[in-house]
Amino acid sequence: MALTIEAFSRLEQTARVIIHSLDRALYQVTVVLQGQEQLLIDGSGRPFRSHNLQQVRETLQAMPVASITLRQQSAYDEMIGQPAREEPNTLELPVSVYTNR
């Protein structure tokens, strides 16, 4: 599922936001609504992406955000030849907690 930036800005309730760190400096956003992660997309239907974390945070300032988490899934184990894990190698850090509405 996907959610446009415009539709997100019009939501009545606040939502949890996850900023995914995809590569060195490439970020993509999902919004958690009713327990489901929805990809944030622009007006053209493309995923909202940025090479600047601060720019992502500034874009989200006008949105109904309850909290923001930065998520990174590391490929470190694979890079050093470790066997596959049963659970993902994911790091999640709170970026900020605030309510805009």
Q: Of 5, 31, 3, nearest to 17 (Cα)?
A: 31
The three-class DSSP label of residue 100 is coil
Percent of the chain scoring above 70 in pLDDT:
84
Ranges of each domain in the chain: 2-97
CA dist list (Å): 94 to 1, 39, 45, 60, 72: 24, 19, 27, 15, 12
pLDDT band at 59 (very low <50, low <70, confident <90, very high): very high
pLDDT value at residue 31: 98
At 7-49, the pLDDT tens digits run 999 999 999 999 999 877 899 999 999 999 999 999 999 999 9
Kindly state the average pLDDT of the residues 71-89.
71
What is the reported pTM? 0.82
The reported pLDDT for the residue numbered 79 is 64
